[in-house]
């Protein structure tokens, strides 16, 4: 895919030869206190992509995160506009399970489990105490997933 990226008002706009347009936020994630988050945030639902486009973006963003030595990623995939499920959420979570089974990612914590009462979350928080300030921690947000690359 041949794409061009242009920055405009803290948002990158990507135009591809296939006439697909999408944008993603370049702003750093913020914690509850307004400080920059220790986790890289990737918004997969920005620009209302098709499922296949969101999955392709997921793969590209993981490659970029690895290049920048970012071991943690917060995915924003949404929960669906009707509040019932969401095709992107379902496809992303399925792909994350596959990647974990293949050993391509170390772990993923779905938003509904992103809580101090979850053992996997608690283990991660002990390793990365700065994540305790994450604005989604403890909210049961089904529209996000935390990934340990």
User: Is residue 47 within 8 Å of 13, Cβ to Cβ?
Assistant: no
pLDDT value, residue 22: 31
Query: What percentage of the chain's residues is helix, strand, coil (to nearest 5)?
Result: 35, 25, 40
Q: What is the CA radius of gyration of the chain?
A: 15
| Inter-residue long-range contacts of 34-39, CB under 8 Å, 24+ positions, other chains counted | 35/133, 37/74, 37/130, 37/131, 37/133, 37/134, 37/135, 38/72, 38/128, 38/130, 38/131, 39/72, 39/73, 39/74, 39/128, 39/131, 39/134, 39/146
pLDDT value, residue 83: 56
Mean pLDDT of 103-107: 94
10 Å Cβ neighbour count for 34? 8
Q: Which region among 4-8, 103-107, 117-121, 132-136 has the lowest average model confidence (pLDDT)?
A: 4-8
pLDDT value, residue 39: 87
Higher pLDDT, 7 or 111: 111
Is residue 24 very low, low, confident or very high in pLDDT (cuts 50, 70, 90)?
very low
pTM, two decimal places:
0.73
In the numeric block, the tokens 């706009």 are attached to: 13
Q: pLDDT digits over 68-96, tens only? A: 998 999 999 998 766 555 899 999 999 99
For residue 43, the cross-strand partners are: 76
Pairing of strands 72-76, 40-43: parallel
Which CATH number is 28-148's, of 3.50.50.60, 3.20.20.100, 3.30.60.50, 3.30.1370.110?
3.30.1370.110
Q: Which region among 12-26, 62-76, 129-143 has the lowest average model confidence (pLDDT)?
A: 12-26
């Amino acid at each position: 895919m041949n794409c061009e990226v242009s920055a405009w008002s803290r948002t990158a706009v990507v135009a591809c030869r296939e006439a697909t347009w999408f944008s993603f936020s370049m702003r750093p994630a913020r914690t509850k206190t307004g400080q920059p988050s220790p986790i890289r945030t990737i918004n997969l639902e920005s620009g209302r992509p098709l499922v296949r486009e969101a999955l392709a973006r997921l793969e590209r963003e993981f490659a970029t995160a690895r290049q920048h030595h970012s071991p943690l990623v917060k995915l924003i995939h949404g929960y669906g506009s009707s509040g019932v499920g969401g095709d992107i959420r379902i496809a992303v979570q399925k792909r994350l399970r596959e990647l974990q089974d293949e050993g391509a990612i170390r772990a993923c914590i779905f938003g509904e489990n992103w809580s101090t009462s979850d053992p996997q979350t608690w283990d991660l928080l002990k390793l990365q105490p700065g994540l305790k300030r994450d604005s989604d921690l403890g909210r049961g947000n089904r529209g996000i997933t935390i990934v340990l690359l």
